[in-house]
Amino acid sequence: MEETLLKALVWTNYKLFVVLCLIVPLILSIWGLVAQIPSIQRLLVIFWRVASLIAIAIYLFIPVWELGYGAWFLGHILVVISLWFWVDINDEIRDLAKTPLRFTFIVWRWATTFYGTISAIVFLPFLPCTISADASVEKFCRVWLEAPWHYKSWFHPTATTGFIGFLGMMGLTIYLIYFFYFLTFRLIKQGRIALQQ
Protein backbone atom coordinates (compact mmCIF):
# COMPACT_ATOMS: atom_id res chain seq x y z
CA MET A 1 0.00 0.00 0.00
CA GLU A 2 1.25 3.48 -0.82
CA GLU A 3 2.79 5.16 2.23
CA THR A 4 0.72 8.36 1.91
CA LEU A 5 -2.53 6.38 1.81
CA LEU A 6 -1.43 4.21 4.72
CA LYS A 7 -0.64 7.27 6.84
CA ALA A 8 -4.01 8.80 5.97
CA LEU A 9 -5.82 5.62 7.02
CA VAL A 10 -3.89 5.39 10.30
CA TRP A 11 -4.55 9.04 11.14
CA THR A 12 -8.24 8.52 10.35
CA ASN A 13 -8.22 5.57 12.74
CA TYR A 14 -6.76 7.74 15.51
CA LYS A 15 -9.31 10.51 14.83
CA LEU A 16 -12.16 8.01 15.05
CA PHE A 17 -10.67 6.72 18.30
CA VAL A 18 -10.68 10.23 19.78
CA VAL A 19 -14.29 10.84 18.73
CA LEU A 20 -15.81 7.42 19.51
CA CYS A 21 -13.69 6.34 22.48
CA LEU A 22 -13.07 9.67 24.22
CA ILE A 23 -15.32 12.60 23.28
CA VAL A 24 -18.70 10.91 22.72
CA PRO A 25 -18.51 8.53 25.71
CA LEU A 26 -17.45 11.44 27.92
CA ILE A 27 -20.53 13.38 26.82
CA LEU A 28 -22.70 10.28 27.31
CA SER A 29 -21.21 9.68 30.76
CA ILE A 30 -22.10 13.19 31.90
CA TRP A 31 -25.52 13.00 30.23
CA GLY A 32 -26.25 9.59 31.79
CA LEU A 33 -25.18 10.88 35.21
CA VAL A 34 -27.46 13.92 34.96
CA ALA A 35 -30.36 11.81 33.64
CA GLN A 36 -29.75 9.14 36.32
CA ILE A 37 -29.95 6.14 33.96
CA PRO A 38 -28.17 3.31 35.87
CA SER A 39 -27.83 0.89 32.92
CA ILE A 40 -26.11 3.48 30.73
CA GLN A 41 -23.93 4.59 33.63
CA ARG A 42 -22.84 1.02 34.38
CA LEU A 43 -22.04 0.17 30.78
CA LEU A 44 -20.02 3.36 30.36
CA VAL A 45 -18.03 2.64 33.55
CA ILE A 46 -17.21 -0.80 32.14
CA PHE A 47 -16.36 0.79 28.78
CA TRP A 48 -13.91 3.25 30.40
CA ARG A 49 -12.19 0.43 32.27
CA VAL A 50 -11.79 -1.68 29.15
CA ALA A 51 -10.92 1.20 26.77
CA SER A 52 -8.10 2.27 29.07
CA LEU A 53 -6.04 -0.48 27.39
CA ILE A 54 -6.08 1.55 24.17
CA ALA A 55 -4.84 4.62 26.06
CA ILE A 56 -2.13 2.46 27.63
CA ALA A 57 -1.11 1.36 24.12
CA ILE A 58 -0.50 4.99 23.16
CA TYR A 59 1.86 5.40 26.11
CA LEU A 60 3.68 2.22 25.04
CA PHE A 61 3.91 3.49 21.45
CA ILE A 62 5.75 6.66 22.50
CA PRO A 63 9.01 4.90 23.54
CA VAL A 64 8.40 2.37 20.71
CA TRP A 65 7.76 -0.58 22.98
CA GLU A 66 6.42 -3.40 20.85
CA LEU A 67 3.80 -4.33 23.46
CA GLY A 68 1.90 -1.25 22.32
CA TYR A 69 0.89 -2.93 19.08
CA GLY A 70 -0.62 -5.90 20.89
CA ALA A 71 -2.35 -3.67 23.44
CA TRP A 72 -3.87 -1.52 20.66
CA PHE A 73 -5.20 -4.60 18.87
CA LEU A 74 -6.60 -6.33 21.97
CA GLY A 75 -8.04 -3.07 23.28
CA HIS A 76 -10.32 -2.71 20.28
CA ILE A 77 -11.51 -6.32 20.54
CA LEU A 78 -12.21 -6.02 24.27
CA VAL A 79 -14.10 -2.74 23.79
CA VAL A 80 -16.46 -4.39 21.31
CA ILE A 81 -17.01 -7.35 23.64
CA SER A 82 -17.60 -5.09 26.65
CA LEU A 83 -20.36 -3.17 24.85
CA TRP A 84 -22.52 -6.27 24.31
CA PHE A 85 -21.42 -8.88 26.86
CA TRP A 86 -23.70 -7.99 29.77
CA VAL A 87 -27.14 -9.62 29.61
CA ASP A 88 -28.75 -7.52 32.35
CA ILE A 89 -27.53 -4.21 30.91
CA ASN A 90 -28.67 -5.19 27.40
CA ASP A 91 -32.15 -5.98 28.75
CA GLU A 92 -32.36 -2.73 30.70
CA ILE A 93 -31.25 -0.61 27.73
CA ARG A 94 -33.75 -2.38 25.49
CA ASP A 95 -36.53 -1.50 27.96
CA LEU A 96 -35.57 2.18 28.37
CA ALA A 97 -38.05 4.81 27.27
CA LYS A 98 -37.31 6.28 23.85
CA THR A 99 -35.40 9.43 24.71
CA PRO A 100 -32.65 11.40 22.94
CA LEU A 101 -30.12 9.92 25.40
CA ARG A 102 -31.16 6.35 24.62
CA PHE A 103 -31.07 7.03 20.87
CA THR A 104 -27.64 8.72 21.05
CA PHE A 105 -26.30 5.93 23.24
CA ILE A 106 -27.51 3.19 20.86
CA VAL A 107 -26.06 5.00 17.83
CA TRP A 108 -22.72 5.41 19.64
CA ARG A 109 -22.74 1.78 20.74
CA TRP A 110 -23.20 0.51 17.18
CA ALA A 111 -20.73 3.03 15.71
CA THR A 112 -18.09 2.03 18.27
CA THR A 113 -18.78 -1.64 17.59
CA PHE A 114 -18.20 -1.15 13.86
CA TYR A 115 -15.13 1.01 14.51
CA GLY A 116 -13.59 -1.49 16.94
CA THR A 117 -14.27 -4.49 14.71
CA ILE A 118 -12.98 -2.88 11.51
CA SER A 119 -10.00 -1.34 13.31
CA ALA A 120 -8.98 -4.74 14.72
CA ILE A 121 -9.31 -6.40 11.29
CA VAL A 122 -7.34 -3.65 9.56
CA PHE A 123 -4.65 -3.87 12.26
CA LEU A 124 -4.01 -7.61 11.67
CA PRO A 125 -1.15 -7.03 9.16
CA PHE A 126 0.61 -4.90 11.81
CA LEU A 127 0.63 -7.59 14.51
CA PRO A 128 4.14 -8.75 13.49
CA CYS A 129 5.30 -5.34 14.77
CA THR A 130 4.55 -6.73 18.26
CA ILE A 131 7.54 -9.05 18.01
CA SER A 132 9.68 -6.97 15.65
CA ALA A 133 13.02 -5.83 17.03
CA ASP A 134 13.06 -3.08 14.39
CA ALA A 135 9.61 -1.56 14.98
CA SER A 136 11.23 1.84 15.48
CA VAL A 137 12.84 1.84 12.03
CA GLU A 138 10.42 -0.11 9.87
CA LYS A 139 8.18 2.34 7.98
CA PHE A 140 5.36 -0.16 8.10
CA CYS A 141 5.40 -0.15 11.91
CA ARG A 142 6.39 3.50 12.41
CA VAL A 143 3.20 4.75 10.78
CA TRP A 144 1.36 3.96 14.05
CA LEU A 145 3.85 5.95 16.12
CA GLU A 146 3.39 9.41 14.59
CA ALA A 147 0.12 10.27 16.36
CA PRO A 148 1.37 9.16 19.82
CA TRP A 149 4.53 11.24 19.30
CA HIS A 150 2.36 14.26 18.49
CA TYR A 151 0.32 13.51 21.61
CA LYS A 152 3.53 13.52 23.68
CA SER A 153 4.63 16.87 22.23
CA TRP A 154 1.26 18.39 23.16
CA PHE A 155 0.62 16.89 26.62
CA HIS A 156 4.03 15.70 27.89
CA PRO A 157 6.56 17.97 26.16
CA THR A 158 9.16 17.82 28.95
CA ALA A 159 8.77 14.14 29.90
CA THR A 160 11.32 11.63 28.68
CA THR A 161 10.15 8.76 26.50
CA GLY A 162 11.44 6.35 29.15
CA PHE A 163 9.19 7.92 31.79
CA ILE A 164 6.20 7.80 29.42
CA GLY A 165 6.97 4.14 28.76
CA PHE A 166 7.18 3.51 32.51
CA LEU A 167 3.70 5.02 32.95
CA GLY A 168 2.42 2.84 30.12
CA MET A 169 3.98 -0.30 31.60
CA MET A 170 2.59 0.47 35.06
CA GLY A 171 -0.83 0.99 33.51
CA LEU A 172 -0.54 -2.29 31.61
CA THR A 173 0.51 -4.16 34.75
CA ILE A 174 -2.47 -2.83 36.74
CA TYR A 175 -4.78 -3.56 33.80
CA LEU A 176 -3.56 -7.17 33.50
CA ILE A 177 -3.90 -7.77 37.26
CA TYR A 178 -7.49 -6.49 37.23
CA PHE A 179 -8.28 -8.44 34.05
CA PHE A 180 -6.88 -11.65 35.57
CA TYR A 181 -8.92 -11.04 38.73
CA PHE A 182 -12.06 -10.47 36.62
CA LEU A 183 -11.55 -13.66 34.60
CA THR A 184 -10.61 -15.78 37.59
CA PHE A 185 -13.14 -14.64 40.18
CA ARG A 186 -15.86 -12.27 39.00
CA LEU A 187 -16.67 -13.89 35.66
CA ILE A 188 -16.98 -17.34 37.25
CA LYS A 189 -19.14 -15.97 40.06
CA GLN A 190 -21.34 -13.51 38.14
CA GLY A 191 -21.25 -14.76 34.55
CA ARG A 192 -22.69 -12.21 32.14
CA ILE A 193 -24.39 -10.19 34.87
CA ALA A 194 -22.88 -6.73 35.41
CA LEU A 195 -24.92 -5.82 38.48
CA GLN A 196 -21.90 -5.75 40.80
CA GLN A 197 -19.41 -4.31 38.28
Which of 89, 92, 113, 109 has the alpha carbon at shortest distance from 191? Answer: 89
Task: Kindly state whether residue 105 falls inside one of the protein's structural domains.
Answer: yes
* Cα atoms in the Cβ-side hemisphere of radius 13 Å centred on 156: 16
Contact (Cβ atoms closer than 8 angstroms) between residue 120 and residue 74: no
pLDDT in tens, 24-35: 999 999 999 999
Buried b (16+ CB within 10 A) or exposed e, 76-103: bbbbbebbebbeebbebbeeeeeeebbe
pLDDT in tens, 72-130: 999 999 999 999 999 989 999 999 999 999 999 999 999 999 999 999 999 999 998 88
Task: Kindly state whether residue 170 falls inside one of the protein's structural domains.
Answer: yes
pLDDT in tens, 136-164: 557 788 899 999 999 999 999 999 999 99
Distance CA 65, CA 169 (A): 9
165 lies in which domain range?
3-190
Task: Kindly state whether residue 153 falls inside one of the protein's structural domains.
Answer: yes
Task: Kindly state whether residue 100 falls inside one of the protein's structural domains.
Answer: yes
Contact (Cβ atoms closer than 8 angstroms) between residue 96 and residue 32: no
Measuring CA to CA, how many Å separate 184 from each of 171, 174, 176, 178, 190? 20, 15, 12, 10, 11
Task: Kindly state whether residue 75 falls inside one of the protein's structural domains.
Answer: yes
- Give the number of domains in the chain: 1
Q: Please report which confidence band the pLDDT of residue 1 belongs to, taking 50, 70 and 90 as the band edges.
A: low
Which of 39, 79, 22, 20 has the alpha carbon at shortest distance from 195? Answer: 39
The conformation of residue 22, written as its DSSP 8-state character, comes to I
Task: Kindly state whether residue 8 falls inside one of the protein's structural domains.
Answer: yes
Task: Kindly state whether residue 196 falls inside one of the protein's structural domains.
Answer: no
Task: Kindly state whether residue 103 falls inside one of the protein's structural domains.
Answer: yes
